[in-house]
Structure 1
Amino acid sequence: MKRLFDKLFLLFWLPIVAQAQDKSTLAQAAIDALNSALVSDAQVAELSRQAVVEMDAKNPVAGPSDPYTIRLNRIVSRHRTVSGLPINYKVYKVADANAFATADGSVRVFKGLMDIMTDNELLAIMGHEIGHVINHDTRDAMKSALRRSAVRNAAASTSGAVGKLSRSQLAGVADYLLGASFSRRQETEADDYSYGFLKRNGYNVLALATSFEKLAKMNGGGQGGKVATIVSTHPDSKTRAQRVRNRARQDGLAR
């Protein structure tokens, strides 16, 4: 397998080397491509940790005595470790309805989400985001981002229209759009993880459905900047809510 990868690597990069004008950019592209294949879970966790440190510095983080922090700590008091992964939780005092989890076990919940969700609904959403980490979706997304970075750097090192386009703001927008969402299969598996998390811990599994229904209502409510960021990068919330309700009925947990 390694020999095959090496051959494909050379076949892809050698033609670009011949055209390259910016050798340093090309070198970085080659490094990114290689790293995307070799990056380990531990490396992804460390890169995630560094990214979260930077994000924490750029966002207003609720302090230890803030009511939002106190509420979040109460909600997650039983869940400082999930599926063997130590979790650290913080609140961003940002109006958007959003939350995310990273491979190092960092979970960040936005004030806007806490304002509209019950305690159990917040647990359901955090369970979904943690599910992406447990299922290695975050690692796979980072590998994909490294591959895109490699292609972008390679294109930027060539002359002509392709190079110019790669250096434009469009490249950054495209990179964001490609990196902001998981596949429908991954989303479904993360939903299933959250459902199982709620069920195992004795919570009402319908909290996952009602959280999706609230996000769907927000998305259709024309609330401008407060429209849930989660909705913009995930499959249809109403469909996901109905799937949860159907499963709950099959499990005898709902009528």
Structure 2
Amino acid sequence: MAQRDPHMTTRGPAAPALKGGGWHRLGNALKTTVLLAGLTGLVLVIGQRLGGAQGLMMAGLFAVVMNFGSYWFSDRIALAIHGAQPLSYEQAPWLHEMVERLAARAGMPKPKVYILPTAQPNAFATGRNPSHAAVAVTAGIMDILDRRELEGVLAHEIGHVRNRDTLIGTVAATLAGIISYAAQMLFWFGGSMLSRSDDDEGGGVAGALSNLGLLLLAPIAATLLQLAVSRSREYGADATGAELCGDPDALASALLKMERGAEAMPYDRAPATSHLFIVNPLHHGGVMSLFSTHPPIPERVRRLREMSARMGQRTRGRGGWEYAY
């Protein structure tokens, strides 16, 4: 399965090593910081409303513990959830060489390589930093993409690692999970915790309703913040990946093929981790696409095509690859 030799394709000049991140990466980092601060703030507010000062302290402690666990064990958890298996060099030497070449261009160690036993064409990256990272591809992606397109996908995933998106996505998912769990606790206890707290403070029914509204709306707000983090990261990884492989059109073509694959073969194992994949494995269409962890494929393709055009103009003008930023 992993030993299959995909069709060879001709591609443009090899991209030089990636340098710097510029204002684009700095802007994304600031945006992510604000969004994660918003999620953390929601956790603390809910804790305070549930248990006053003691609840605030417990919520803060819980968030720290959960994020500590996410930091150290996120890669193992994500890989285990999806049944990923290590892909040895002997099984696919060309794939390992491709990952090693892209990692060198990104100025980082070669990530470990895994394969997922599913027919849907997809891939994801995980790990807390470039020194402790892994990229995983599905069995299906080896049958659908040629080497040029697969290199674009791997460049996207390595771009996630280089931009520290793998850690950010895990932290965002953890905080959003804490908020959702708090809302479930509300319904589990039938609102007794809130009503008792407000009676003690003289808030009465109005205060209880206010708290109830907060805990009903908080999961929605947390989801929207998580979506904002995920979508921003995908655009950034597309751009970084296109720079790494020097071929934005290859990644654009791969995205279109994988979207069709997700439509034909939805993959619903562990939906909470769907944001890790390069293409949404659940593939919700229509109104539900507004709540997708991924930006629309047509918009991603449009940006990559524009980037390709800029690269082509610079290549014709200066005789070599020049990057968009």
Task: Normalising by structure 1, report the TM-score.
Answer: 0.67
Provide the rounded CA distance (Å) in 1 between the counterparts of 2:158 and 2:245.
Answer: 12
Which residue number corresponds to residue 213 of structure 1?
256
Could you list the runs of 5+ residues in structure 2 that have no partner in the other structure? 1-37, 194-218, 269-276, 284-292, 317-325
Cα pair 2:122 2:258 within 8 Å, conserved: no
**Fraction of identical pairs, as percent:** 25
Cα pair 1:131 1:193 within 8 Å, conserved: yes
Provide the rounded CA distance (Å) in 2 between the counterparts of 1:152 and 1:133.
Answer: 27
Which residue number corresponds to residue 242 of structure 1?
302
| Residue identity in the other structure for 1:32 | F
Superposition map of 1:6-45 within 5 A: 12-17=46-51, 29-35=59-65, 39=67, 44-45=70-71
The alignment partner of 2:240 has SS state of helix
Superposition map of 1:146-185 within 5 A: 146-158=174-186, 159-160=189-190, 182-185=229-232
Superposition map of 1:49-128 within 5 A: 49-52=75-78, 54-55=80-81, 59=83, 61=85, 64=88, 67=91, 69-79=92-102, 81=104, 82-103=106-127, 104-128=132-156
Q: Once superposed, what is the RMSD of the aligned Cα atoms?
A: 4.3
The alignment partner of 1:59 has SS state of coil
| Residue identity in the other structure for 2:264 | Q
* Alpha-carbon spacing, 1:131–1:13, altered in 2? closer, same or farther (3 Å): same
* Alpha-carbon spacing, 1:160–1:209, altered in 2? closer, same or farther (3 Å): same
Residue 126 of structure 1 deviates from its aligned partner by 1.8
Provide the rounded CA distance (Å) in 2 between the counterparts of 1:70 and 1:193.
Answer: 24
1:161-194 Cα shifts (integer Å, max 9, x gaps): 699xxxxxxxx9xx99986885433221111100
The alignment partner of 2:113 has SS state of strand
Could you list the runs of 5+ residues in structure 1 that have no partner in the other structure? 164-171
Residue 250 of structure 1 deviates from its aligned partner by 1.9
> Which stretch shows the higher mean deviation, 178-187 or 190-199?
178-187
Which residue number corresponds to residue 169 of structure 1?
none
The alignment partner of 1:109 has SS state of strand
Provide the rounded CA distance (Å) in 2 between the counterparts of 1:11 and 1:236.
Answer: 32
* Alpha-carbon spacing, 1:52–1:13, altered in 2? closer, same or farther (3 Å): closer
Provide the rounded CA distance (Å) in 1 between the counterparts of 2:119 and 2:103.
Answer: 25
Cα pair 1:98 1:112 within 8 Å, conserved: yes
1:10-68 Cα shifts (integer Å, max 9, x gaps): 764233026x9xx9xx99754332447xx57xx7552223314534xx6263663875x
Task: Normalising by structure 2, report the TM-score.
Answer: 0.54
| Residue identity in the other structure for 1:33 | A
Give the number of aligned pairs. Answer: 224
Which residue number corresponds to residue 312 of structure 2?
252
Provide the rounded CA distance (Å) in 2 between the counterparts of 1:44 and 1:110.
Answer: 23
Which residue number corresponds to residue 166 of structure 1?
none
1:223 aligns with 2:264: yes
| Residue identity in the other structure for 2:254 | S
